Amino acid sequence: MRIKGVDLIRLWQQIIKCIILIAGLSLAPSAYAGVGMLAGGESLYNSDLSFAGGNAIWDASRNKILSVCKRRNANLVQGYEYGYSYFYTVYANVTFAYRKCGQIYRSMRINRVTGKIRPATTKFGGQASGIGDIQIGVRARLNHANTAAWEGALIIPGGYDGNSPATLGRGALGLSLGLKFASDAGLSKRSSWAWKMGTKLTYFFASKGNSITSFGQLSYAFTETNFEQTGNFMSLRINNSFAMANNGLQKTLFYNQIPSSLTNSDSTSLSLGYSHAFVNSGWSTNVRVGKAFFGRSSPVDYTAGWGFSYRWMD
């Protein structure tokens, strides 16, 4: 059977589209759409710098009050990911952090030798910087596209000081398990929309601030894009977290300076981000700003961040 010239051109067009689609099934920083899967043999380096701070908190009754100190926090996350196969992506990241203004609550104790009683105390303030927790994990597709995946990670503690109100990590070994879903990751035209959502459970073996976090994101394309590493688009994201209190070890200002009101905490925030890909370079970047607008026993923080990534094939 002979192939006509027009048919041959159409065949090559379909092949090129397939190549572009496969290249689009890959990870991007947190501001991007997609569920974070890399092609087999693909590598990704990402870096993200973020800031958070505020002078107020929500107490246990959701009243907004002034903090006893001003929070000024920063994170620099360095990560590497590798497409082990089409269905599995492995990843690792480390956080370099700065913390200012935290709290720690110490319950009453009796010295069994001397019989002396150490009264319950709460410390506020503090300042710390250095290496925080390290994560090593795996992400796996739930279908043959970039629209559904699960992931699990081991959290290795680092930078913990049990005597300081401000610490860089939880100080306990942890595990996380999450699900992500997204709209079609294929190439979309200008003025297209895309969505993304997910949830994650984080458990620490010492029960130090176990949490459930969820998010939903809506993105709008300014150019042709796959809402990952090609094109330019803007994203509006809503985040929610619920954390379980345990002797104040979550290292945030949970309550109105009254230990008896120590409670679980929750927080809901909004963020707006813009993502840009540099054509035929492997580089992409994003910027974002946000604010917590509803919570209980949690900070009223403003946030800002900038990230970039570079991907390549073996």
CA angle 272, 178, 94 (to 5 degrees): 70
Taking the C-alpha atoms of residue 103 and residue 105, their distance in angstroms, rounded to an integer, is 7
Any idea where the domains of the chain sit in the sequence?
5-313
Q: Is 70 helix (H, G, I), strand (E, B) or coil?
A: strand
3-state helix, strand, coil in the chain (%, to 5): 5, 55, 35
Sign of CA dihedral 194, 76, 207, 67: negative
Q: Give the residue among 89, 97, 95 at the shortest CA–CA distance from 44.
A: 89
Contact 60, 263 (CB under 8 A): yes
Query: Tens of pLDDT along the chain (314 residues)?
Result: 444 554 544 544 454 344 333 333 333 333 334 788 898 999 999 999 999 999 998 887 889 988 888 888 999 999 999 999 999 999 999 999 998 887 666 667 788 888 888 777 666 677 888 898 899 999 999 988 778 999 999 999 887 766 677 777 777 889 999 999 998 756 667 778 889 999 999 988 876 668 899 999 999 988 887 676 677 899 999 999 988 765 444 434 433 333 444 567 889 999 999 999 888 888 999 999 999 999 988 889 999 999 999 999 98
- State how far the alpha carbon of 77 is from the alpha carbons of 91, 172, 290, in Å: 13, 19, 18
The model carries a pTM of 0.78
Residue type, 310: Y
Q: Where are the alpha helices (DSSP H) in the chain?
A: 5-24
Q: Which residue, 199, 198, 286, is CA-closest to 235?
A: 286
Class of domain 5-313: mainly beta
Q: How far apart are CA 265 and CA 288, in angstroms?
A: 25
Q: In a 3-state reduction of DSSP, which class is residue 86?
A: coil
